[in-house]
Amino acid sequence: MQIQKSFKGQTTSGILYLVATPIGNMEDMTFRAIKTLEEVDLIAAEDTRNTGLLLKHFDISTKQVSFHEHNAKERIPELVDFLLGGKSVAQVSDAGLPSISDPGQDLVKAAVKVGISVVTIPGASAGISALIASGLSPQPHIFYGFLPRKSGQQKAFFEEKKQYPETQIFYESPHRMKATLENMFDVYGDRKAVLVRELTKIYEEYRRGMISELLASIDETPLKGECLLIVEGAGEIGLSDVSDEVVMTEISALMQDGMKTTKAIKQVAKKYGLSKSELYARFHEETGEA
């Protein structure tokens, strides 16, 4: 068992600070984050150009080195040696909390392995910030980050997650969002979701509705800027989300077209993200069919 005490002066090696940066609005930078970036010996930045703008805004002159997925293998040993020499390092991502969508996790593992103290400087997180304003259940939730890009891999991923009761949080680029929602609709059916765009920025936007409604909104108004997607869990969905009249009418219409009852119920349940067994029982209660 390893016990870490991260008070300045208590360790012979330096300290690795994981510093949260604003996700859009510079005013979300904390006093502690500014002070840390001013006092460390080195800043390991996902993109030195982006971080350079942040440092310039707060008049911070600390030296930077690039640290991203393409140079992590070579950079991590260098940073660990620097820390073991008694120097301090602040790791930052382009926006929000580091070590989530960048190689910071591997740096943390390497630091912990040799006894280097790791300290979090908390701040904004896009996923959690959007979740609490989404209108969907914030607890429990699961954060997945970026999704697989290929359609087949996405659908396979959604198949594994479609019965999860937790609210699900995903990051996605604006130009892939429509295809992702289409894949999600095919697997999850039509359930409540929230598309969040340009969080904390001037054009911040929340689009709330069913997946099908979000797809229609993208056709009407294409997306621009940073996006993320929040989707309700399977445990939240019930017949109260769609009227009996709608589902019964659709089941009857499919049956009139020659579809078997069980298949019609299954198709409508998938469309609205409903429980097949619950809908089956309700249908037979309404119609009196055995």
Of 236, 264, 279, which marks where a domain is finished? 236
Top pLDDT among 250 and 115 is at 115
**One domain for residues 141 and 155:** yes
- Asked, for residue 6, whether it belongs to a domain, the answer is no
Strands (E) located in 62-121: 64-66, 89-92, 117-121
pLDDT at residue 273 greater than cutoff 70: no
259 assigned to some structural domain: yes
Tens digits of per-residue pLDDT, 253-270?
888 888 888 888 888 887
Res 271: pLDDT? 73
Does 232 lie in the same domain as 141? yes
Strand runs (DSSP E) across the chain, as ranges?
Answer: 15-19, 42-45, 64-66, 89-92, 117-121, 141-146, 167-172, 192-197, 205-210, 227-231
What digits encode the pLDDT tens for the residues 196-233? Answer: 999 999 999 999 999 999 999 999 999 999 999 999 99
Strand order from edge to edge, sheet including 205-210: 141-146, 167-172, 227-231, 192-197, 205-210
Q: Is residue 185 part of a domain?
A: yes
Query: Is the same domain home to 42 and 113?
Result: yes
In a domain, 5, yes or no: no
Q: Spell out the residues 6+ positions from residue 65 whose beta carbon is closer than 8 angstroms to its own.
A: 42, 43, 44, 45, 48, 75, 79
Q: Which range of residues forms the domain containing residue 252?
A: 239-287
pLDDT at 7: 55
Whether 278 and 194 map to the same domain: the answer is no
Give the whole-angstrom CA distance, residue 286 versus residue 278: 12
Specify the number of domains making up the chain.
Answer: 3
In percent, how much of the chain has pLDDT > 70? 91
Co-location of 54 and 152 in the same domain: no
**pLDDT value of residue 289:** 60
Total length of the chain: 290
The pLDDT of residue 194 is: 98
In whole angstroms, give the CA distance from residue 103 to residue 145. 14
Q: Do 104 and 191 belong together in one domain?
A: no
Average pLDDT over residues 168-189: 95
Examine residue 151 and state whether it is found in any structural domain, yes or no: yes
SS3 103: coil
Does 105 share its domain with 159? Answer: no
CATH code, 106: 3.40.1010.10
Please write the tens of the pLDDT for every residue from 158-178. 999 998 999 999 999 999 999
Average pLDDT over residues 78-85: 97
Each residue of 96-149: pLDDT tens digit?
999 988 889 999 999 999 999 999 999 999 999 999 999 999 999 999 989 999
Q: Are residues 49 and 32 in the same domain?
A: yes
Same domain, 110 and 27: yes
**8 lies in a domain?**
no
Please indicate, yes or no, whether residues 30 and 79 belong to a single structural domain of this protein: yes
> CA–CA separation, 104 vs 110, rounded Å?
10
Do 77 and 170 reside in the same domain of the chain?
Answer: no
13-40 per-position pLDDT tens digit: 799 999 999 999 999 999 999 999 999 9
Is 31 in the same domain as 120? yes
In a domain, 4, yes or no: no
